Amino acid sequence: MPYKLLFVCLGNICRSPSAENIMNHLIDRAGLSDCILCDSAGTSSYHIGSPPDRRMSTAATAKLGIKLRGQARQFQKLDFQDFDMILAMDQENYQNILALDPTGQYHDKVYLMCKFCSQHTLKEVPDPYYGGVEGFNQVIDLLVDACEGLLEYITNQQLKA
């Protein structure tokens, strides 16, 4: 049974698809594609069906040489059962996810993405949507750091079990 990760932001066109694609890139490099599966979603329905933001894709290609793939979808309650870890990009996404689980049954599956950073001290992945190029580049750097830490966490904690 593969270990399943879900990355969540607001619209699922900038931060969460970037995290999903960066994580897949790291998983492939580590030869763990059979063990870990990734997906992403948004807490809002604004961009359902849309591809990742062009500016985000440009930053990912420039910094990592990867192409962002995917289509935006909205987070659903079923995701709590389907995924082993749910990674929120910021505090607002985190609270919105927890609000869909009023009994708290799945709260232990939900994490803030930046918890896994080792080089960056930011507690949230900032939304670059309304900003300039630097914001998109910063998000890529932050997510590479967080994804590397997350992969290490999963390989040490979950895959050894």
Residues involved in catalysis: 9, 15, 127
H-assigned helices in 40-118:
54-64, 78-82, 91-99
d(CA 94, CA 67): 27
Residue 43 · residue 93 · CB < 8 Å: yes
The number of beta carbons lying within 10 Å of the beta carbon of residue 49 is 8
d(CA 44, CA 19): 17
Instruction: State whether residue 38 is helix, strand or coil.
Output: strand
